[in-house]
Structure 1
Amino acid sequence: MGSAARIEAFLEMMSAERGASENTLQSYRRDLEDAASSIQGPLAQASATQLRGYLAELAGRGFAASSQARRLSALRQFFKFLHGEGVRNDDPTGVLDMPRKDRTLPQTLTEDDAARLLDRAEAEIAEAVTDEERFAALRMHALIEVLYATGLRVSELVMLPVSVARRDERFFFVTGKGNKERLVPLSAKARGAMKAWLAARAANPAQAGSRFLFPAASDSGHLPRQVFARDLKGLAARAGLDAASLSPHVLRHAFASHLLQNGADLRAVQQLLGHADISTTQIYTHVLEKRLIALVNDHHPLAD
């Protein structure tokens, strides 16, 4: 069996047994195919020396340590699968060190900038001249209110079922990575924005029958995340913000950072974001550090 067939078998396992999303599967495919094209001979038979050389090649090609680490993670999963299937009796990735990552802080928004963005989205509903403009403004307002209120991944957001808006409840379940469900609270303002969008959506015959809250005439049947990201940049520019640095992921980071700044527990934020491992959430410890320093400075009797 050649490299391509081994990779396909691995991806089938990740889909069937691990519930990996299509985006995750595509990422694994790209990483493994890149490694297979770089290593002489079949990827399944690669040695630790060859794999180490491949990682060094990635560094030479200008890949950041985080990108190298992601490639190594894909290779580890792949060779673990081969070992489990009896294709190999060893795992060559076991002796490879994870590339050292620089501590990078997630790009985020200040609370004031987030408020400006939300206010601009709401104002554009009233300012709309045509029905088409109002329809688009209602959708964008609902999208960013829900995103900022929940911290959903953009793929989770655009794939929300319409039932979320119809129930008008303060909580809903969302299916995240690995088909894992988590409970997500929804603010009154986000529920209101969804209700207004739902009314406009119901009046549109092309969208009223869709099972998605944010339908679109796309292959998937829902609003593509790239379209939302593009429209979000346009809204940011109209709000006087730096459009180039704003993305749905930045709003997700803002959700987490603002919760922590206002007293939320790191473990609770982990659960809300759908992080399987607390170590993933620990990129936000800089927010906690600032809060704790302020707490001591404000309340310790010797702080002055």
Structure 2
Amino acid sequence: MTPAAVTTAPPQEPPAPTGARRRPRKVRTPFSRRERRNVRLGLLFVSPWVAGVLIFVVYPLIYSFAISLTQYSGMQSPTFIGLQNYITAALDPMVHISVGNTLYYMAIAVPVGMVVALLLALAMNRQVREVALYRTILYIPSLIPAFALSFIFIVFVNPQFGIFNRFLSLFGAPDTNLLGEPSLAKIVIIVMGQLGAGNAALIYLAGLRNIPTTLYEAARVDGASQWTQFVKITLPLLTPTILFNLITGMSGAMQVFTEAFIMTGGGPDNSTLFYMLYLYKNAVSYGQLGYASALAVLLFLFGMLLAGLIFVVSRRFVHYDVSAG
């Protein structure tokens, strides 16, 4: 064999000793130790809220949907019937009446309430010395519970000794049982609902205070009137607050219950049978918890659909900064 034919093999690494382990590479995390500690503390502080949402919101929703698929009175074991409760709700004429009454209430009470609250907020925003007293007086009615207001209004509209009928008698109007007339009972409840406009008025007031005063000063220099300032400055920059009050007002109108339950019981002639009142009657008076749960699920789905629709439409008119106005 010639020397050229001899090849040298590359040096081989010595074998690792038996039992030796390679050191794992350190994986770099996107958070430092201090940031991870802050995250743990944050989760600890929000855990009561998360637990409350899971226990009092998520679990009732899941349980209501499960019960809505059964025939259940609360006394015996539920019997699975599938979508029969939803089919019954679609064909139930009382559901149609209650939905119509609720939509009627929403269509009138919510816009009127938003206008009343905005007027109250404008009055609260006046730069006068007694403004703190005025704010207190305008806000106090919203602190009265709904059931107490209902009893007060029953006395006010009493056809025999009510203050409202006494006032109308000064103009020659006959005594009228407002809660006994199907065409007037809902109007009384709508009017009573405006006494709670103080909460929305405070939110409007916060929105008004957030508008820079320099915009009004510049508008006055340009000769803009009070109405022009309101239309061109106040309303556009108040649209986020209007959106919030609109959604909360719609949510409250869909759940109107106490006033009708105390003042009319759904009458006369089912003219104040709102959706929540009919749901309550099915659950408590009729013992149909499965059917009532189906009605609750339908109300939840309608509320989510309405809120989503409002958010989509709001993109066209809601301005979240001064430059957009």
TM-score, normalised by the number of residues in structure 2? 0.23
